[in-house]
């Protein structure tokens, strides 16, 4: 298992490519007042796998040149990042940017004590999963090694635990980052 992304992935399968239905629903939510830049931004937020400029242009109903120009601008801002070199040009969302954004929001909306309490709760949940599965990392858990392969309920329960454990770990990283940001802000000269 790789790095786990949290957030809403409704309609986006594990390969990162949305279904035709998800794209149709996305387009229905856009009103006539949405600019191409806004549509590309909303689409860029879902690019969990390398995606070609032409695929972004198709999804956002704009020209490839316009999609490329806006994606390059979003890359300069750190929202997306180019993947690989050559043609076709591909982009994906920058996970580090979104982790920083969530950490910065937590820093602004929670006191140091609140962050510490929330982090301790997550650490307790992490330790409970380590004890439950007698492993230090959720990536080490193999549902098929633990449960009978024919027991679909048991397999699903393990997979649910692993996904929650991955989310706990991601939230820990975000809150630890938020604490660092708070310390930096407090130690910065006025």
Question: Quick count: other Cβ atoms within 10 Å of Cβ 76?
Answer: 9
Summarize pLDDT for 119-144 with one digit per residue, the tens. 999 999 999 999 999 999 999 999 99
Summarize pLDDT for 48-93 with one digit per residue, the tens. 899 999 999 999 989 999 999 999 999 999 999 999 876 788 999 9
What are the boundaries of each domain within the chain?
Answer: 20-93, 97-187
How is domain 20-93 classified at the CATH fold level? Answer: Arc Repressor Mutant, subunit A (1.10.10)
Q: CA torsion, points 104, 105, 108, 113, in degrees to nearest 10? A: -90
Q: Report the pLDDT value the prediction gives residue 88, as an integer from 0 to 100.
A: 81
Q: Report the pLDDT value the prediction gives residue 12, as an integer from 0 to 100.
A: 44
Give the confidence band of 102 by pLDDT, cuts at 50, 70, 90: very high
């Amino acid at each position: 298992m790789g790095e786990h992304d949290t957030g809403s992935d409704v309609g986006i399968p594990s390969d990162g490519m949305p279904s035709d239905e998800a794209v149709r629903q996305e387009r229905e939510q856009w009103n006539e007042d949405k600019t191409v830049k806004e549509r590309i931004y909303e689409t860029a937020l879902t690019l969990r796998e390398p995606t070609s400029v032409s695929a972004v242009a198709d999804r956002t109903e704009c020209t490839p040149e316009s999609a490329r120009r806006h994606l390059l601008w979003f890359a300069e801002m750190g929202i997306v990042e180019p993947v690989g070199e050559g043609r076709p040009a591909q982009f994906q969302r920058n996970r580090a940017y979104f982790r920083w954004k969530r950490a910065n929001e937590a820093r602004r909306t929670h006191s140091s004590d609140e962050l510490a309490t929330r982090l301790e709760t997550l650490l307790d949940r992490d330790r409970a999963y380590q004890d439950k599965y007698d492993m230090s990392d959720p990536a080490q858990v193999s549902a098929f090694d633990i449960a009978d392969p024919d027991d679909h309920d048991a397999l699903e329960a393990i997979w649910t635990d692993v996904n929650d454990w991955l989310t706990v770990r991601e939230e820990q990283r975000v809150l630890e980052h938020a604490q660092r940001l708070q310390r930096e802000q407090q130690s910065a000269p006025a």
